Amino acid sequence: MIKADHVSKRFGRFEAVKDVHVHVKKGSIYGLLGSNGAGKTTLLKMLSGIIQADQGKPMIEGEVIFERPDIKKRILFIPDQPYFFHQTSLLQMASFYEAVYDRWSTERFHQLHGHFDFDPKAKLSRMSKGMQRQAAFILTLSAMPDALILDEPFDGLDPVVRQQVKNLLIQDVSSREMTVLVSSHNLREMEDFCDAVGVMHKGRILYERDLEELKIDVSKLQVAFKKMPDETFLKGMEVIHFEKRGRVLTCIVRGNEGDIDRHVRAYEPAIYDVLPLTLEEIFTYEMGSVGYEIRNLIV
């Protein structure tokens, strides 16, 4: 659905995006993570058709987006600072959106501003950053886009509204296969929200993973033995990381859950638990093994 095919972008002599290849599947949510200046906004703007790539193809449904105004009407971008016309209200902005976007739904618009308890006649310029962001979501989701590209969309939203917005996005993804590409500095923000994540650093995608596959493939074990087993215990599994505190071993291991379970039980542990792994832990260990310290890249 959304694809960056070896895309690069320079600003003068500075290369902000370097040969990036990303694929966001239809009906999925892709989290683009990265620190300040990583190149996320530049990549999102190319994929929204706002700026042109120097090299490679930013594509939507197999077409280079920059050259296709018709496709741009179905792909909406919410920038990190939403823009509204001077002195307008949500209602006035809605008239503009209705005129531009063929699939605009007035019913959805009323439903959404009711949901957020939003005064549609109040001037948007007098509203807080978080309320302006809510307004951007109300307008954008009422345009019923096929794909949404969101730059730091949760900044400035309180935790309740943040969850409401996430739920609305998930609803559109599951009910009508909307595709979402979302950038964030915050790994925890993406947990339980994205289907896939990519980590961007200094213009490149360092690491990319499907989260379902990742969570199935990596486990965290806590085991204790009356008598410590020999080295075959650790050598018999693909251990990414382990810590030993007294008699308790905590191991992050890769591989089939059933095979791991059989291997561990063969050593007759006194205590054996499989603990939930956070996205941060998976990243810390996986990226650590390729030479990056995730904590230095994102929070």
Which residues sit at the interface with ligand ATP, rule CB under 6 A?
A: 11, 14, 16, 34, 36-42, 185
> Closest CB to ligand ATP among 88 and 186?
186
- For residues 84 and 106, what is the distance between their CA atoms, to the nearest angstrom? 19
Minimum CB separation of residue 14 from ligand ATP in Å reads: 6
> Closest CB to ligand ATP among 50 and 168?
50
> Closest CB to ligand ATP among 266 and 299?
299
> Closest CB to ligand ATP among 89 and 184?
184
Minimum CB separation of residue 40 from ligand ATP in Å reads: 3
- For residues 18 and 20, what is the distance between their CA atoms, to the nearest angstrom? 6
- For residues 19 and 5, what is the distance between their CA atoms, to the nearest angstrom? 8
> Closest CB to ligand ATP among 42 and 142?
42
> Closest CB to ligand ATP among 20 and 253?
20
Cα-Cα end-to-end distance for the chain: 29
3-state SS class at 178: coil
Residues 6+ apart with CB under 8 A from 83: none
> Closest CB to ligand ATP among 14 and 235?
14
The identity of residue 102, as a single letter, is D
3-state SS class at 279: helix
Minimum CB separation of residue 42 from ligand ATP in Å reads: 3
The identity of residue 140, as a single letter, is T
* Contact criterion met (CB below 8 Å) for 71 and 61: yes
Minimum CB separation of residue 207 from ligand ATP in Å reads: 15
Query: What residues form DSSP beta bridges with 136?
Result: none
Minimum CB separation of residue 9 from ligand ATP in Å reads: 8
Minimum CB separation of residue 41 from ligand ATP in Å reads: 3
Minimum CB separation of residue 142 from ligand ATP in Å reads: 26
DSSP string for 70-99: HHHTTEEEE-SS----TT-BHHHHHHHHHH
* β-sheet with 248-254: strand ranges across: 238-245, 248-254, 218-224, 271-275
The identity of residue 152, as a single letter, is E
> Closest CB to ligand ATP among 22 and 249?
22
- For residues 49 and 20, what is the distance between their CA atoms, to the nearest angstrom? 16
Minimum CB separation of residue 130 from ligand ATP in Å reads: 18
